[in-house]
A and B are shown apart, each in its own frame.
Chain A
Amino acid sequence: MPDMKVNEKHVTVGKQFHDDPRMTMRNVNVFYGEKQAIHDVSIDIGKNEVMAMIGPSGCGKSTFLRSLNRMNDTVEGCRVEGEICMDGESLYNTKLDVVELRARVGMVFQKPNPFPKSIYENVAYGAKIHGLADSRIDLDEIVENSLNKAGLWKEVKDRLHQPGTGLSGGQQQRLCIARAIAVTPEVILMDEPCSALDPIATARIEELIKELSENFTIAIVTHSMQQAARVSDRTAYFHLGQLIEVNPTEQVFTMPEHELTEGYITGRFG
């Protein structure tokens, strides 16, 4: 039985840094009021890399993910310390506007959450609020491209003006991905994007993640270790708010460095 306690002065094992980083996080601490949710996490996410974050429930992986596009700002009493930079620009300490940030760092949520509007409106929403399209033709093009990239175009091209909520769960999630990529972000954060989907829809999304990684940097939080193993280049293991280990995915799933990682991925935690 691995020792489940984490010492205070924990050092992350493995290869947490990257030669060509898109986002760099250094000594990040996140607090909810008095409670500290993230302890001193330092990690890089490389360009066009798929970074999977795994760990038991309440380990802070979602919290960490949400601090990457400042979604935690909406939570009252949440405080982020340390440095989170994107392309060398600090997210929290400079004047980088949160609206701009979220246009550059898109997010896909656990439950498919299309707006109760038409499919077209869903995808066009980001472009509209950020003023990315000069004309209707531009907007049409953005919508078609995004749906194409999300592998949804063929399925929905004849019903663009029907409600997005009428699609199946997997289609809805791909619609949300299309919505996110319509504003051409650099990074896409995914918070357990397949947990509400059936295996076939999950497989489609996973396939899509692989395709998207050619153009986007992706950070994905997942409860499914198999999913992390399938889609990611590197895997980060979080435990009780600490980053225990970051390593190439193939290593994490065959020969993890830390015994806590080993315990988690082989299913040995109570």
Chain B
Amino acid sequence: MDKLSFENHIASRYDEELEQIFSQLMAMGGKVEQQVQLAVKAILDSDSNIAERVIQGDKDVDRMEIRIDEDCVLVIARRQPTASDLRLVISVTRAVADLERIGDEAEKIAKHALELIEHGPLMSGYTVVSQLGVSVTAMLHNALDAFARFDADAAMRTIDEDKQVDQEYKAALSELDTLMASEPALLKQYLNLVWIVRSLERIGDHAKNLCEQIVFVAKGKDIRHQ
């Protein structure tokens, strides 16, 4: 069962309902991806406007989560989905939770960015953020892409990317460690950066969870915690 579609149900409304849930999920994914990109941009550009926009944008993400969850509950109540349909609906509810957490992390990054801007920008340390940001946004993008196509192979490859993100995260932490030791006066600002790096790493983990859901939908295998 590699090929997946929502079509050809005897009840065509069922097709539409699943289609709608899925397209909402994709929209939410797009929105969350944008949130992460903007949050990273807010730090790198020290732009408090962008940061404010991200914080505002998280409310949209929350609304989308609730909306999709409601639709999933309705489909379960109305259609009692089985087999691939069941896996799809269940994975969507899980994926929505992960996306919402990613949104939250993006909001946190934006808040720390605002604090950084308030305390006055740092001279160094941004490179680690920018590097990790690129990796994580790429990973998130790949995960959503794989979801759109239910591509289990792509999802597996994306899961592998998480190891690299983890390595980059550790490297970033140790570099920030050295910077903090050398400039104890800026400890507060560097701590902000630590939190930001930590959030990016969490986003990578959530992207990995998304990929695991893709494998669950496509292959029926639960590969979490393995």
Judge A-B direct contact (beta carbons within 8 Å).
Answer: yes
- Expressed in whole angstroms, the minimum distance between the Cβ of B89 and any Cβ of chain A is 11
Pick the contact of A253: B1, B79, B86 (CB < 8 A): B86
Tally of A interface residues using CB under 8 Å? 19
Pick the contact of A259: B1, B7, B14, B82 (CB < 8 A): B1
- Expressed in whole angstroms, the minimum distance between the Cβ of B214 and any Cβ of chain A is 15
B84 at the interface (CB under 8 A from A): yes
- Are B9 and A266 neighbours in the complex by a CB distance under 8 Å? yes
- Are B1 and A266 neighbours in the complex by a CB distance under 8 Å? no
Pick the contact of A267: B1, B11, B220 (CB < 8 A): B11
B185 at the interface (CB under 8 A from A): no
Please name all residues of chain B whose beta carbon is closer than 8 Å to the beta carbon of A254 when the two chains form the complex: 82-83, 86-87, 220
A101 at the interface (CB under 8 A from B): no
Please name all residues of chain B whose beta carbon is closer than 8 Å to the beta carbon of A253 when the two chains form the complex: 82-83, 86
Map CB proximity to A onto B1-27 as digits: 1 under 8 Å, 0 otherwise. 100000111110010000000000000
- A-side residues, CB < 8 A to B, are 1, 225-226, 229, 252-256, 259, 261-263, 265-270
B226 at the interface (CB under 8 A from A): no
- Are A266 and B85 neighbours in the complex by a CB distance under 8 Å? yes
B contacts with A: majority SS: loop
Bound CA span A1–B84, Å: 13
Bound CA span A261–B11, Å: 17
B124 at the interface (CB under 8 A from A): no
- Expressed in whole angstroms, the minimum distance between the Cβ of A267 and any Cβ of chain B is 5
Which residue of chain B has its CB nearest to the CB of A1? B8
Please name all residues of chain B whose beta carbon is closer than 8 Å to the beta carbon of A259 when the two chains form the complex: 1
Which residue of chain B has its CB nearest to the CB of A270? B10
B121 at the interface (CB under 8 A from A): no
Which residue of chain B has its CB nearest to the CB of A252? B83
B81 at the interface (CB under 8 A from A): yes
Q: Could you write out 22 A-B pairs with CB less than 8 Å apart?
A: A1-B7, A226-B80, A229-B82, A252-B83, A253-B83, A253-B86, A254-B83, A254-B86, A254-B220, A255-B83, A255-B220, A256-B83, A262-B1, A262-B83, A263-B8, A266-B9, A266-B84, A266-B85, A267-B9, A267-B11, A267-B79, A268-B8
